Structure 1
Amino acid sequence: MTVVMAEDLDPTSTDAGVPVHYGDPMREQRTLATAVGLVDRSNRDVIAVPGEERASWLHTLTTQHLSDLSENQGTELLVLSPNGHVEQHAYVTEDGTTAWLDTEPGAGAGLLKYLEMMRFFTRVEPRDAGEEMAVLSLVGPGAADLFPTLAAAQISEVPGAKFAAGEVPGHSTSVYAVTPYAGGLARRVPLGIDLLVPKAEKTAVIEKLGVPLAGLWAYEAIRVEHRMPRLGWETDHRTIPAEADFIAAAVHLDKGCYRGQETVARVHHLGRPPRRLVLLHFDGVATDQPPAKGTPVVSGDREVGFVGTAVRHHELGLIALAVLKRNVADDAELTVGESAVAIDVA
């Protein structure tokens, strides 16, 4: 089997350490879209937070409602700057003694530093668990069949701009069912099942599941199709949660104070964040090569946004997630490099 690693193509890649494809990226995408495939995402950073006060402590520090986080439950959270800009995004998986946070490759050190600074006298012991645990993702409609006891992911509706106090349920806005598996945990998420397993058992778990392997390129294509933002790709130093569609899964709008909460509340109640996340379709005439992250999106002679993740999709062709200024019309004539692009309004 051909295995192409991220660093084989780009030694500086953020995704170094995992396969981007196994010889046929389009076939791997179709597997994820129509059946189930296993994606090695073990380059994700992992932080363990044991300690009896972990739930209430994380509740006060992040955007998510976590005070009643229970055993075998998962969710998502953000850490914001004092001005409400997105600094960290992580998935949370609770096993009854430890809250496991998995985040983007390279982001773990910053998240752990912040958590350590905010410990004070709280009974928690956050630590780097990147060498302990690996993330593997089962993606596709057949993933749920492998873990039939795990309920589907639940993501609450975002309330209107002028919602009444108490209208938002007093629990996490996204609830992901979790069960013990192979010395670790299995977590039901919107794209399938994430496995958080001991790194020493990674190969054994892959062999036991016997699921076709798919590379990170295939995973990213499915993620882009579903308009799911990624920290550091659909975010920059100015991003606020509403601009990158983090609100539904990772932000509780009625949980009380946390760092950056004032900006979140103000923007939500005004109803007009300065930018928005969109899916772009490329004309495919000028090039079939995905543009680099950060490539400007241009309207006439004016830069109106930037490309986040660009991929070749097995059905949709060349597509990308981009962050654009709010006032860019859905039917605006836009270009990325030499390519004409159009906003998908579906």
Structure 2
Amino acid sequence: MADASSSASSSPLAELPAAIVGSTGVARAYGNTFSEQRALTAGTALVDLSHRGVIQLSGPERLSWLDSLLSQRLDSLKVGQSSEALLLDPHGHLQHAMRILEDGENTWLLVDEGRAPALTAWLIKMRFMKQVEIVDRSEELATIGYFADSIPEPLQPLVLNHTGTPVVWQDTWNQVSEGGWQYSADHPASHWNYAEAVLPREALTTLAQAVAAGDVILAGTDALEALRIAAWRPRITTEADENALPHEFDWLRSAVHLNKGCYRGQETVAKVHNLGHPPRRLVFLSLDGVAEVLPETGDPVMDGENEVGHITAAARHYEEGMVALAILKRNTSVDAMLSVHSQGEVIPATQVVIVPPEAGRTANVPRLPRLGAVKRES
């Protein structure tokens, strides 16, 4: 797994007096995380994500080449269109997740912290004779997150724009992408209007000055994390491990096209979706608010005396209280009385199903008897 640290330079937004800076070098909060969550959902706050990576692809064959490598249909991506895709290993396990935007001359890949160098190196290795140029721009460019259907006014003059199309990725998580698959009929992300804008890194100083003047409101990454968890939105840095399959995280919803041509790991994706079941499943947990302890990544989730999974991310939400995402064994009952063990505390947890135990096996192919098997009389 990638190192969580960032190679990018320190952000001026993390040097503001109110900033509470985390290990990634950006602010986790600027004061009250609940008010920051409200400001984000209202579309009045920005969140500094300058620790994350930005990769630029250019050249006439970039989209068809990407389409051959990644899980999403990309060869027909239109100018200004956003998408999401996964890089899988030959066995279908997650290696990278990319937020993708096309501006007509370049395809932009936005990735989680610490992941750009390894992904860039792999893409360059796989270029062969294709007319594609790949450059890690993370040292020069920074990402700012926000919730709105259009670019907030303070960002408009700062957003990278060389082609007439602003480099702004609009998350597609609020609906099932073409060729995708959703497990839950009642999904909380229908109003999820999250976006990420790419700026020259020196523009962060301009934003910091606007914050000092009272013209811009900032929220920390803790506020964004709480909203992400409540929307069931997976992130590779927190949810995935070396055994992760897209099906386990509801990622077929936005990042996998089930009917596109060949790509690495496709056989496993198709086999699990049509004939098998993902071995684990992501769930949303509503945690007992009496406990003061906030669970940490990796804390065990218990069904009685049996460990059935672990926490991937937890936060305090401004409306829903203490919430978490967890990955459980597939056959864990949806009615199980779960608890989270953290820092000596036992925290009761109510499970909300994201990926059901019966996920997969959509082909409904009857199982054939084994050769030589004896049919027993009833």
The bucket for the TM-score relative to the shorter chain is 0.7 to 0.9
Q: What letter matches 1:53 in structure 2?
A: E
State how far apart, in whole Å, the 2-side matches of 1:118 and 1:242 are: 26
Q: How far is the alpha carbon of 1:87 from its aligned partner?
A: 0.6
Matched, 1:279 2:284: yes
Shift in Å, 1:194 = 1.4
Percent identity reads 40
Superposition deviation, residue 212 in structure 1: 1.5
Once the two structures are superposed, residues 261-289 of structure 1 have per-residue CA deviations (whole angstroms, 9 ceiling, x without a partner) of 0010011113632211111011133x322
Amino acid aligned to 1:326 = R
Q: Aligned AA for 1:83?
A: H
Q: Which string of whole-angstrom CA distances, capped at 9 and with x for unpartnered residues, describes residues 57-107 of structure 1?
A: 100010011111222222111000110001100101111111111111011
Report the 3-state secondary structure (helix = DSSP H, G, I; strand = E; otherwise coil) of the residue aligned with 1:49: strand
Aligned to 2:14: none
* 2:41 aligned partner: 33
CA displacement, residues 203-225 of structure 1 (integer Å, 9 cap, x when unaligned): 32566694421110000000001
Tell whether the 8 Å contact from 1:275 to 1:325 is kept in structure 2 after alignment: yes
- Counterpart of 1:44 in structure 2 is 52
- For 1:156, the aligned partner's letter is S
Call closer, same or farther: CA 1:191–1:308 in 2, change over 3 Å. Answer: farther
- Equivalent residue letter for 2:92: G
Q: Distance in 2 between matches of 1:311 and 1:75?
A: 27
Matched position secondary structure for 1:102: strand
After TM superposition, what 4+ stretches of structure 1 lie above 4 angstroms from structure 2?
147-154, 157-161, 205-209
Alpha-carbon RMSD across the aligned residues, in angstroms, is 2.5
SS of equivalent residue, structure 1 residue 254: coil
Match of 2:243 in 1: 238
CA offsets 1:222-268 (integer angstroms, 9 cap, x no match): 00010000102111111100101111111111111111000100111
Q: In the alignment, which residue of structure 1 is the partner of 2:141?
A: 133
8 Å CA contact retained: 1:64, 1:251? yes
Instruction: Provide the residue aligned with 1:333 in structure 2.
Output: 337
Equivalent of 1:123 in 127, 131, 147: 131
* Closer, same or farther: CA 200–107 of 1 in aligned 2, 3 Å: same
Task: Name the residue aligned to 2:100.
Answer: 92
The change in CA–CA distance for 1:273 and 1:92 in structure 2 (over 3 A counts) is: same
SS at match of 1:239: coil
In 1: Cα distance, 2:333 partner to 2:286 partner: 15
**Aligned pair count?**
308
Give the gaps of 5 or more residues in structure 2.
1-16, 157-165, 183-190, 355-378
2:200 corresponds to which of 198, 201, 210: 198
Structure 1 match to 2:258: 253
Q: Distance in 2 between matches of 1:159 and 1:78?
A: 13
TM-superposed deviation, 1:315: 1.5
> Which runs of structure 2 are paired with 1:168-317 in the superposition (5 Å)?
190-205=192-207, 210-270=215-275, 272-285=277-290, 287-317=291-321
Aligned-pair distance for 1:108? Answer: 1.3
Report the CA distance between 1:296 and its aligned residue.
1.6
1:6 pairs with 2:22: yes
Deviation track 1:133-187 (CA, whole Å, cap 9, x = no partner) reads 1110112xx55484899999564366679xxxxxxxxxxxxxxxxxxxxxxxxxx
User: SS where residue 314 of structure 2 aligns?
Assistant: strand
How far apart are the structure 1 equivalents of 2:235 and 2:317?
17
Instruction: Determine which structure has the larger strand proportion and give its number.
Output: 1
Asked if the contact 1:20/1:216 (under 8 Å) is kept, the reply is: yes
Closer, same or farther in 2 for the Cα pair 1:71/1:88, shift >3 Å? same
> TM-score, structure 2 length as denominator?
0.76
What corresponds to 2:12 in structure 1? none
Are the aligned partners of 1:36 and 1:143 in contact in 2 as well (CA < 8 Å)?
no
Question: 1:342: which partner in 2?
Answer: 350
- Report how far residue 192 of structure 1 moved: 2.6
For 1:59 and 1:159, locate their aligned partners in 2 and report how far apart those are by CA, in whole Å.
Answer: 15
Deviates more, 1:151-160 or 1:262-271: 151-160
Give the TM-score normalised by the residue count of structure 1.
0.82
Q: Distance in 1 between matches of 2:267 and 2:151?
A: 42
Distance in 1 separating the partners of 2:253 and 2:299: 27
**Equivalent position amino acid for 1:282 in 2:** L
Tell me the equivalent position of 1:156: 177
CA distance in structure 2 between the aligned counterparts of 1:160 and 1:222, rounded to whole angstroms: 23
SS at match of 1:101: strand
Task: Give the structure with higher Rg (CA).
Answer: 2
